[in-house]
Amino acid sequence: MLSRVAEALFWMSRYIERAESVARFIDVNINLVLDLAQESAAQWEPLVNTTGDHLAFKEQYGTASRENVIRFLAFDRENPNSIVSCLCAARENARCIREAISSDMWEQLNTLYLQVNQQVQPPMALGELEGFFAEIKRGAHMFRGVTDATMSRNEGWHFYRMGQMLERADKTARILDVKYFMLLPSVTDIGSPVDDIQWSAVLRSCSGLQMYRKCWRRILPERIVEFLALDREFPRAMHYCVIKADESLHAISGTPVGTFHNPAEQRLGQLRAELSYANVQDIMLEGLHEFLDSFESKLNRVGEGIFKTFFALRPVGETV
């Protein structure tokens, strides 16, 4: 398939996943804050950190508040990672490859884009916001569903799934990192009701509370880390995402899983092996933040490898 088309599929998928992730964790945070005694900047600032855009935010908005964080993460067109920007980018990618995706996929994405884009005034009041985020989540889920039902499991689909899985792994790692960092200092809170609420929120940000409960029932930080980082079955766990991305990568290249022929396969394979043989005690001992940080930079290197291997093809002698 065309390199350009593969790249557009990959990014279309990433951007939709990103929009949905952002919608979900803002929504969870709104909900969380309602359970706390008072609202403060400390509850909103970490959200910006999760996206990695805190510098841009500081510059433009200064101190974090519920209103400006939501504005920045959901509606700010200047912020390339806001929900609105992500949907624009996803749709623009889809528009470039309409002939490569099913028309049902295109129409679903286009409808979602139009719904969001036609809002003249972004909803800011509590009560309206929930509806907005629910719409984004539902729209993204419908897009996934339509894709599942209408797209052949061909090479293009594997690029699509790879984009989705890499984005997801990255977001789960970030959510875990930020929340853990935020929760860690309050040692006195451990075991308190607040702590329970906060850790449940981490799980809900990854839609994982129910599935976690089925595994462990009690809210225990270490178990949560294990569940979100190392579980092989939960679809937003980092390990699960890496496995699926790796499977797609090998389906594309035809190289047997466990071997490699290009940098993308090598790096992703190493990452997969690392997670397969990790245990949570070692991770905590080494430091969760260090573990997650290194995971994210390895994931970035996988992305670079994919770009070089599949998207940036040049004939011999042609310079970039």
Query: What are the structure tokens assigned to 52, written together?
Result: 């990695």
Letters for 121-160 (x = contact with another protein by CB under 8 A, - = none) are ----------------------------------x---x-
Letters for 215-254 (x = contact with another protein by CB under 8 A, - = none) are -------------------------------------x--
Q: Which stretch binds another protein (CB under 8 A): 91-99, 219-227, 234-242, 276-284?
A: 91-99
Positions 172 through 201 that interact with another protein (CB under 8 A): none
Please report how close the Cβ of residue 2 comes to another protein at its closest, in angstroms.
5
CA 48 – CA 56 distance, rounded (Å): 10
Output 98 or 213, the one with its CB closest to another protein: 98
Contact 162, 250 (CB under 8 A): no
Is 3 a binding residue for another protein by CB under 8 A? The answer is yes
Output 114 or 134, the one with its CB closest to another protein: 114
Kindly state the DSSP code that residue 188 receives in the 8-state scheme: G
Is 300 a binding residue for another protein by CB under 8 A? The answer is no
Contact 205, 224 (CB under 8 A): no
Is 31 a binding residue for another protein by CB under 8 A? The answer is no
Query: What are the structure tokens assigned to 100, written together?
Result: 């490569």
Contact 19, 136 (CB under 8 A): yes
Please report how close the Cβ of residue 100 comes to another protein at its closest, in angstroms.
8
Of 230, 236, 242, nearest in space to 303 by CA? 242
Output 160 or 199, the one with its CB closest to another protein: 160
Output 8 or 243, the one with its CB closest to another protein: 8
The C-alpha R_g of the chain, in whole angstroms, comes to 20
CA 300 – CA 225 distance, rounded (Å): 21
Letters for 106-125 (x = contact with another protein by CB under 8 A, - = none) are xx--xx--x-----------
Please report how close the Cβ of residue 241 comes to another protein at its closest, in angstroms.
21
Query: What are the structure tokens assigned to 267, written together?
Result: 């790096």
CA 163 – CA 165 distance, rounded (Å): 6
Of residues 75, 160, 240, 310, which one binds another protein by CB under 8 A? 310
CA 105 – CA 119 distance, rounded (Å): 22
- 237-261 b/e (C-beta count within 10 Å ≥ 16 → b): bbbbbbbbbbbbbbbbbeeeeeebe
Output 38 or 152, the one with its CB closest to another protein: 152
Q: Which stretch binds another protein (CB under 8 A): 13-21, 126-134, 197-205, 310-318?
A: 310-318
Q: Which stretch binds another protein (CB under 8 A): 19-27, 102-110, 128-136, 289-297?
A: 102-110
**Token pair 């623009």 is at which residue?**
92
3-state secondary structure 59-80: HHHCCCCHHHHHHHHHHCCCCC
The torsion defined by the Cα of 88, 7, 239 and 198, in degrees rounded to 10, comes to -10
Please report how close the Cβ of residue 75 comes to another protein at its closest, in angstroms.
20
By the criterion CB under 8 A, which residues form the site for another protein? 1-6, 92, 95-100, 103, 106-107, 110-111, 114, 155, 159, 252, 310-311, 313, 315, 318
